[in-house]
Structure 1
Amino acid sequence: MGRLGSGVAFLLANILMTFYINRSAFVILPFWEIAGAIALLMMIPKSGIRFLRRFVDYGRARADEQQYYGKRVQELTAGRLDEFAGVFHHLSKVFGRISEQNSAKGREELSRIFDQVADHVCRGCPLYRSCWERDFYNTYSNLVDLVAVCEEKGSVGESDFPPAMLRKCLNSGELTEELNVVYHAYRSNLNWQQRIFDCRRLVAEQLDGVSQVVKQLAAELDMDVRFRNNIEEALRLELDKSGIYAKEVLVLEKSGGATEISIVKPACQGGRECRRHVEGIVSRVMGKPMSCLSPECIRAGKEDCTLNLVETRRFEVVTGIARKPRQDILTSGDSYSFAPVKDGKYLLALSDGMGSGARAAEESSAVVSLLENFLEAGFDQNITVKTINSILMLRSQEEMFATADVCIMDLVGGTADFIKIGGVPSFLRRGNKVEIIRQDALPIGILEEVQLENISAPIQDEDRIVMVTDGILDAFAVMGDGERALADFIATLNTINPQEIADSVMEEALLQKDGVAKDDMTVLVGRIWTPC
């Protein structure tokens, strides 16, 4: 009614109470006081009304309190993760400084060679004082030149001595032998010191990498989640009207706008009350289709049932896969995944490890499994890819990398995001037309920072997404432009079955290569359809 309507209603109520209770002209509250109160109410700004409502509206106060404590828990958790990241970063710096100091000590070892040679060979020589006192700089310079010869040839002989030094030295043979022994010991010691330095440097890099991963996870955790208390109360009321007692109702609204509802109620013992009644009630209150996250009853026979409801997906996906390892190799270096992930999204992923065989399969499998785990946990797709890149950088000093070709479909919103890091183009067939989706980027695990640029496209009923590895594209390149040739071939296929599409593309690729797979080949196809 607003403030004016509330004031008029209060005035009429006072008149009625005066008539029915007092039955006289004496009013309970004077009209001028009521008029003054209404005028004062009209003068209070909306911000003031909202401020006063916090003290009298218990439901709103409780919602604000929940929001406050929920935000505090998020901030504290993110803050603790940031502290852990700082500790790892500090440890990285400490290891880095120790390695630098040890490297400097390694260079100082060179001067000890000359001291050892002079002590063992020259100390008892009659010309010792002449060489190491009066002619010190020439002697030292000659030994430096001989060490340089050792580094170049691996050893030194009397023929490598400067002529003036060879004429003057009385123990050239013994000096040569001692110099070779001492230099070889120095090189062996230096090699071990370098290995220790490399190990410590690797530990420093890994600690710094762990610090970056923890920071990224902390940033993802510090997201905006809101508790919708008003919707919770509305759901409780509507469920109660339908004879359904809800012990707990929790409504979460995430930063992206996705809503998730959790309801704890007495179990219906397999009566599928959730499907027959709860989904419809929740959808009506929310004003949009909502459905249970799990299609099957997993609480039958238990006292309570926990229902998790999310927005109903507009689309569903069915997939097909075709693979062929390189000739004479039993294990394909390509890995793939297709799976539903959090918030009504669906993942299609391909990864091609460097080379072929078991080692390539290990790298590509790591990329795919990490993608699944991070996205299923609800992490942002960009942070997921950056974190996986950091993890791969930590795994080994050797040059190991893998491509990441990812398509994440939002089956609620009706969009598809393509992320390509070293992956070859993908193909979107709609009707009789085929769109080529490409993006140039280095494979994952090469650079410390990966530059991501998502390619977004709307999806429709009966769209087909075809993703391939470079072995397939190389086979079609025999006909000229491999991308265009593959797109034209996909356009000629008269089937909507994703497995038949994958098999047809694989057969045509092998036909172009005379039946011989010269590289690992993988085709992943996803068909999008609208449920009835």
Structure 2
Amino acid sequence: MEKAERRLMEPIAGEAIEKTQHAIQRSARKMGAHFQSLLFHKGVIYMFIGFLLGRAVILTEILPFALPFFGVLFLLKKDKALIGALSLAAGGLTISLETFLIITCHLLFFLFLQKAGAFIFKDRVRTLPAIILLAAAATRLTFTWIVYGKVTSYDAMMAGVEAGLAFILTLIFLQSIPLIASPRYKQALKSEEIICLMILIASIMTGLTGVAYMEVKAEHVFSRYIVLLFAFIGGSSIGCTVGVVTGLILSLANVGNLYQMSLLAFSGLLGGLLKEGRKIGAAAGLLIGSVLLSMYGGGTAGIMTTLLESGAAILLFFLTPKAVTASLAKHIPGTSEHAQEQQLYATRIRDVTAHRVDQFSGVFEALSQSFNAFYERSESDSSRETDLFLSTITEKTCHHCYKKEKCWVQNFQTTYDLMTQVTNETGADTYSQNRKLKKEFHSHCSKAASVEIAIEQELNEFKAGQKLNRQVQESRRLVAEQLLGVSKVMKDFSREIRRERENHYLLEEQILEALRNFGVEIGHVEIYSLEQGNVDMEMSIPFCQGHGECEKIIAPMLSDILEEQVIVKQEDCGLYPNGFCHVAFGSAKSFKVETGAAHAAKGGGLVSGDSYSMIELGVGKHAIAISDGMGNGSRAQFESNETIKLLEKILQSGIDEKVAIKTVNSILSLRTTDEVFSTLDLAIVDLQDAMCKFLKIGSTPSFIKRGDKVIKIQASNLPIGIIDDFEVDVVGEQLKAGDLLIMMSDGIFEGPKHVENHDVWMKRKISELETDDPQEVADLIMEEVIRTRSGKIEDDMTIIAAKVEHNTPKWAAIPASRYFQKKEQSVS
């Protein structure tokens, strides 16, 4: 009984714990949002920074920090300028009354110059450093003259130093304060931005000068804490840089802190080098560096103080939440957090792009459905057109007839059927011969003769309207097919965008180790896809001096490991001996196509009306196309060339072959009203299984030579551009290794003179060929055709021969799978 109660209570307890966790997370988010609002929106952070910068003094008399901070705040956050001014004045008052007065005069003089400069200069950002320079120099000189009654050369020099530092700090604060005050949409910080931010933080810590407890100085504790934090996040380079910058600013405030620059730099270097030991390693680096350099700077007497200060910094470092370090690391280039953030950003951009592509695909699909629905509805409205035609006839003939009510009210169906039959028979020119129908119609209608005349008069216009309507509907159907094809292409594109790089880290390590054990040195391996027939991976190898290790060793080993033929797709060799070669590997296709072509213009001229193309479609397919423009000369060449170019572009976009040909036909038929047409002979060979699709539009037959057998491929379609719409017949044929595909224009097929059956003649000539080299085949057949014409070329001639072969690699696979078998056995 107790066990049953416990089993019943376990889910309830789990739900309660989950609800409590969610409540704690919500409370933490609310507290974080409230704290952020208090810090930034209420201006607490500006109050804190202003108070410490008001206390920051260099060489006990130079005040270069207060005015630049107020000037930048006045420019960027004008609503927080009053808080900043009061905080600066309060900070100066904690130092001395003279400091308070100088800061106040600085601010007042700046406001006066800023107001005066606004009437002259429009670019406030560019003029801000100059205004601060003038305000700092003028305030210091005026204050010295009022208090002491004279201005010495030393006073003028110090005023120039203060004004110059204020000018430089203004430029620095213009870059660093926005990093603190504004949310960052840009994820990575530049090196200059990091240094400017460090100068701002060091300037703020200068305001802690004089704050100490039992000889433990606050500026030393917080400076080491900052150095330790950035060394842990960014590594030795960032830690060393932060240490140098922070130590330099602190040494300007107090000459006694000069050795702190080397201490912080060395500690940052050691802390970054030992960051692999996590927080303990970074803290050990700071502790070792501070103890070593304190012995050189202050001797053994200051070691205890240094240990206390470093210990306090380490304590603050250990109390820093992991969320803070992770958030800072996202903005430091080179960190893993920054790389993950960049990857997440790229993923978000990819998802947004894929979503937009999906939306566009949905729009095109909806448009296609809309056109199809309209087309189907229009097809079903043929009876409605007949009704409208009959209503026009009855309006002209039956409207004033005394038998109108008897015919169309009492005998509606009989009258309607008779008039429909008369209309159909008249349209077919058989009404005059159908005596039975004519007699029946005359006995039924008292105005039969006038009705027959009206039908004959209106029928031509009715047929023209029907023909135009059919053309419009066919155009709509073609547009619907094209829109659907575009929608499918966009869906495939969206699917490719969403395909993430799969997690192949384990296999990458295994391949790396197997190649290294084989004696091949590899820099790195990146696997993007291991899909059958679509392997995609990249490697970097040391400079190979052109020995071809990738093609001869690595690719054959990968072929054995992946149990699939892998070849080198692209190779970028290193430019110097110590560099790396970057190589891309991919799946080899099962078949390859070798082609040869022969081409001649009518009369041996330079301009031929035939055009041809042999292209790789990028999806493992090879396309061969021949287009023959009507007639000869430049106009025929233009038509055939336009057909080939349009077809290439559309096929390479991924649209289906049938839709592509219909699109080309639609474009060419709508482009001009001239009766200039072109044929198209298209063959698309799948390089994975050697399946070939033939699409013949008004073209001559093609032939496949397989051993001693010759196969004829033929289809009947009108040439492109004759009619707006037509159905494309696709003929499929399974090719085999060693097959020879021969395609030709009509100048070759119909070229032989005194030949009655061109099919038999061409088959005989192909079967008699003793070579299987594609180029030799094309040349021999063209030469044979020209010989039958006594050397004359009566028409444009084009012939393409393509040989299908197994894609045998140059190098056999090298057995490397034994290594993986041993590894799997050891793991099991």
Report the TM range for the smaller structure's normalisation.
Answer: 0.5 to 0.7
1:500 aligns with 2:776: yes
- Pick closer, same or farther for the CA change 1:293–1:400 going to 2, 3 Å: farther
Aligned to 1:232: 504
Aligned to 1:451: 727
Shift of 1:425: 0.6
Aligned to 2:173: none
Q: Which has the higher contact order (CA 8 A, sep 6+)?
A: 1
Shift of 1:362: 1.3
Shift of 1:351: 0.9
Aligned to 1:386: 662
Q: Which of 336, 340, 351 is the matching residue for 2:627?
A: 351
Letter in 2 for 1:486: M
| SS of 1:331 mapped into structure 2 | coil
Shift of 1:520: 1.2
Q: How many residues align?
A: 351
Contact between 2:526 and 2:539, CA under 8 Å: does it hold in 1? yes
Aligned to 1:298: 572
Query: C-alpha distance in 1, partners of 2:676/2:768?
Result: 38
Aligned to 2:737: 461
Aligned to 1:263: 538
Q: Which of 785, 800, 809 is the matching residue for 1:509?
A: 785
Quote the RMSD (CA, aligned, Å): 4.1
Query: C-alpha distance in 1, partners of 2:638/2:786?
Result: 25
Q: Alpha-carbon deviations, 1:52-83, whole Å to 9, x = none?
A: xxxxxxxxxxxxxx999978744521533665
Aligned to 1:135: none
Aligned to 2:642: 366
Aligned to 1:480: 756
Contact between 1:227 and 1:250, CA under 8 Å: does it hold in 2? no
| SS of 1:424 mapped into structure 2 | coil
Aligned to 2:695: 419
Shift of 1:459: 2.3
Contact between 2:361 and 2:490, CA under 8 Å: does it hold in 1? no
Contact between 2:595 and 2:800, CA under 8 Å: does it hold in 1? yes
- Pick closer, same or farther for the CA change 1:288–1:248 going to 2, 3 Å: closer
| SS of 1:484 mapped into structure 2 | helix
Query: Tell me, which stretches of 5 or more residues in structure 1 are unaligned?
Result: 1-31, 37-65, 91-204
Query: How do residues 99-114 of structure 1 correspond to structure 2 at under 5 angstroms?
Result: none
Q: Which of 506, 520, 529 is the matching residue for 1:251?
A: 529
| SS of 2:750 mapped into structure 1 | helix
Aligned to 1:398: 674
Query: Tell me, which stretches of 5 or more residues in structure 2 are unaligned?
Result: 8-345, 371-473, 517-521, 809-828
Query: How do residues 3-82 of structure 1 correspond to structure 2 at under 5 angstroms?
Result: 73-80=353-360
Letter in 1 for 2:717: A
Query: C-alpha distance in 1, partners of 2:658/2:475?
Result: 21
Shift of 1:352: 0.6
Contact between 2:621 and 2:685, CA under 8 Å: does it hold in 1? yes
Shift of 1:510: 2.1
Aligned to 1:340: 616
1:430 aligns with 2:430: no
Q: Alpha-carbon deviations, 1:445-489, whole Å to 9, x = none?
A: 334344233322222232111111111121247422212220111
Shift of 1:306: 5.9
Shift of 1:337: 1.7
Query: C-alpha distance in 1, partners of 2:503/2:625?
Result: 37
Contact between 1:342 and 1:377, CA under 8 Å: does it hold in 2? no
Shift of 1:421: 1.6
- Pick closer, same or farther for the CA change 1:290–1:527 going to 2, 3 Å: same
Aligned to 1:216: 485
Letter in 2 for 1:391: I
Query: C-alpha distance in 1, partners of 2:707/2:602?
Result: 33
Aligned to 2:149: none
Q: Alpha-carbon deviations, 1:12-53, whole Å to 9, x = none?
A: xxxxxxxxxxxxxxxxxxxx99xx9xxxxxxxxxxxxxxxxx
Contact between 1:345 and 1:411, CA under 8 Å: does it hold in 2? yes
Letter in 1 for 2:488: A
- Pick closer, same or farther for the CA change 1:300–1:350 going to 2, 3 Å: farther
Query: C-alpha distance in 2, partners of 1:261/1:278?
Result: 14
Task: Report the structure number with the largest CA radius of gyration.
Answer: 2
Query: C-alpha distance in 2, partners of 1:519/1:432?
Result: 30
- Pick closer, same or farther for the CA change 1:267–1:442 going to 2, 3 Å: farther
Shift of 1:499: 2.1
Query: C-alpha distance in 2, partners of 1:515/1:83?
Result: 58
Contact between 1:477 and 1:485, CA under 8 Å: does it hold in 2? no
Query: C-alpha distance in 1, partners of 2:597/2:759?
Result: 19
Q: Alpha-carbon deviations, 1:127-150, whole Å to 9, x = none?
A: xxxxxxxxxxxxxxxxxxxxxxxx
- Pick closer, same or farther for the CA change 1:458–1:401 going to 2, 3 Å: same
Query: C-alpha distance in 1, partners of 2:475/2:731?
Result: 32
Letter in 2 for 1:396: T
Q: Alpha-carbon deviations, 1:477-526, whole Å to 9, x = none?
A: 74222122201111011112222221221122223333333221111111
Letter in 1 for 2:527: V
Query: C-alpha distance in 1, partners of 2:508/2:770?
Result: 51
Query: C-alpha distance in 1, partners of 2:715/2:541?
Result: 52
Higher strand share: 1
Q: Which of 686, 690, 697 is the matching residue for 1:410?
A: 686
Letter in 2 for 1:433: K
- Pick closer, same or farther for the CA change 1:208–1:457 going to 2, 3 Å: closer
Shift of 1:376: 4.2
Contact between 2:717 and 2:729, CA under 8 Å: does it hold in 1? no
Aligned to 1:321: 597
- Pick closer, same or farther for the CA change 1:77–1:401 going to 2, 3 Å: farther
| Higher alpha-carbon deviation: 266-275 or 438-447 | 266-275
1:311 aligns with 2:580: no
Letter in 2 for 1:398: D
- Pick closer, same or farther for the CA change 1:207–1:449 going to 2, 3 Å: closer
Query: C-alpha distance in 2, partners of 1:305/1:413?
Result: 33
1:524 aligns with 2:796: no
Shift of 1:238: 2.8
TM-score computed with the length of structure 2 as normaliser: 0.37
Contact between 1:228 and 1:252, CA under 8 Å: does it hold in 2? no
Q: Alpha-carbon deviations, 1:383-432, whole Å to 9, x = none?
A: 43333333323432323332221122222222222221221110000111
Shift of 1:321: 1.7
Shift of 1:358: 1.0
